[in-house]
Structure 1
Amino acid sequence: MVLFKKKDLNKIDQYTQKNGVRLVNLVDSKSIVAEQIRMIKTNIEFAGVAKNKLKSIVITSPEISDGKSTVSANLAIAWAQSGKRVLFMDADLRRPTLHSTFNLPNNEGLTSILSGQGSVETAIRHTVVGNLDVLVSGIVPPNPAELLGSKQMENLIKWAEEKYDLLIIDTAPVNLVTDGQILATKVDGTVLVVRYGKTQKTTTKRAIELIQHVEGNILGVVARGTQKEVAGYGYGYGYGYGNENSK
């Protein structure tokens, strides 16, 4: 069964930015893909137990169009469906997608809070998924790294960790900008998303090195796609500098 049509893996995906990502765990929770997402969730939980706590996670990727937003959105839903109160935050202030995914306005969000022009109470929104709240990016700013590295961002993360069972943050590709490195220092763990047939081993290794350089805690690597991507859409989960699903 073809769940998602095969695309040119080296082409930047403009679809998700305009239309949002595919919420498989919401619309087809009994599918193979949804079950794979739940397996990833379980693996991340085990990694978190080994580090004693898991209240906040950053999900990033080496490059654009590796699938981090699709993985993070479906993981947020999976955790919410399991009974945890989840806040899903769009901290990709370069190419945000969360507002499109949940069909929400993007005039007020994370950037509004960090710049002092909005409040948490009005910016955070409930979703149709029980236990899942979202914080969209807000207006794309000229200084994303500065905002994400601010004391206000640190305070917001601490607030979310107290208010919710889990905070999931989607952020920009770590090999391209410093946003992922900055956030990796403020949360309990970082998950890296790579894509089979697109992400090179060298770029995956570079991404891990960048996170480790700031002493970020890498929980694992999610490999999106399979060797037979034309026949379907799969996920794998592994640890380290890469696996068989990277070139």
Structure 2
Amino acid sequence: MARKRNQFKANNKMRNLITKLNPKSPISEQYRTIRTNIQYASVDNDIKSLLVTSSGPSEGKSTTIANLAVVYAQTGKKVLLIDADLRKPTVHYTFRLDNLRGLSNILVGEHTLDETVNPSDVENLDVISCGPIPPNPSELLASRKMAAFIREATTAYDIVIFDTPPVLAVADAQILANVVDGSLLVVRSEHTELEAAQKAKEILEPAKAKLLGTVLNGREKKASNYYYYYGTN
């Protein structure tokens, strides 16, 4: 029974990266549409750093960001995906990393970017996990060390994508939205309350990073088992 549960969990994690496992599926095509919409939304300014957040938990932001990173990498861009959710990290599960060291180690000066980066099994895609969960996530993300790290990462990579905590839960996403080039808000169909989505949008809009759009996640296509993911400006 335990073996079946573990296999079920492993299969769930594999399905999260549908853009890698089934790049020709309708869902994968929708992730490519999101990528294209981001490019059109930022036509006058090259997006080198992007954060993805949600209003609350269980809205699909981590699945969205992992697949978005894959479709960027599939274009030949050198991509770095960073788990900046220093409270409830998930990226290391998706990419099956040990999470012994990561972003938190960089921000306290224990390790460098080169020492923490993990090549994934997707060509052109590298990953930095959260690392040990620190007692002061917001302070670390707002530090000069973080700003310097972003400059270093965006010099080494074509695009750097950050997974952040839900914007209504803590200040972390709002902090990072002031030091990256763009932000993306994920909402889930029939789950996210309209008031929560509007509040999240109001929080992100004043930030220095442009709110590029919203991804509607989990909307079922009728007469099909597929779920559509798509972005709007």
1:3 matched to which residue of 2? Answer: none
Matched residue pairs, number?
223
2:4 matched to which residue of 1? Answer: none
Give the superposition deviation at 1:212: 2.0
Distance (whole Å) between structure 1 residues aligned to residue 187 and residue 135 of structure 2 = 27
Distance (whole Å) between structure 1 residues aligned to residue 194 and residue 89 of structure 2 = 26
Candidates 199, 203, 222, aligned match of 2:192 = 199
Distance (whole Å) between structure 2 residues aligned to residue 215 and residue 187 of structure 1 = 8
Give the superposition deviation at 1:24: 0.5
Moved more, 204-213 or 79-88: 204-213
2:38 matched to which residue of 1? Answer: 44
What fraction of aligned residue pairs are identical, expressed as a percent? 43
| 2:42–2:212 contact (8 Å) kept in structure 1 | yes
State whether structure 2 residue 173 is matched by structure 1 residue 185: no
State whether structure 2 residue 42 is matched by structure 1 residue 27: no
Query: Unmatched 5+ residue regions in structure 1?
Result: 1-14, 240-247
Distance (whole Å) between structure 2 residues aligned to residue 61 and residue 164 of structure 1 = 25
| 2:27–2:226 contact (8 Å) kept in structure 1 | no
TM-score w.r.t. structure 2 length? 0.91
Partner SS state of residue 192, structure 1? strand
1:233 matched to which residue of 2? Answer: 227
1:158 matched to which residue of 2? Answer: 151
Candidates 93, 96, 107, aligned match of 1:100 = 93
Partner SS state of residue 213, structure 1? coil
How well do the aligned residues superpose, as a CA RMSD in angstroms? 1.8
Letter in 1 for 2:29: E
Distance (whole Å) between structure 2 residues aligned to residue 20 and residue 213 of structure 1 = 36
Partner SS state of residue 234, structure 1? strand
| 2:179–2:208 contact (8 Å) kept in structure 1 | no
1:218 matched to which residue of 2? Answer: 211
| 2:220–2:226 contact (8 Å) kept in structure 1 | no
Distance (whole Å) between structure 2 residues aligned to residue 25 and residue 89 of structure 1 = 18
Partner SS state of residue 37, structure 1? helix
Query: Unmatched 5+ residue regions in structure 2?
Result: 1-8
Distance (whole Å) between structure 1 residues aligned to residue 173 and residue 132 of structure 2 = 19
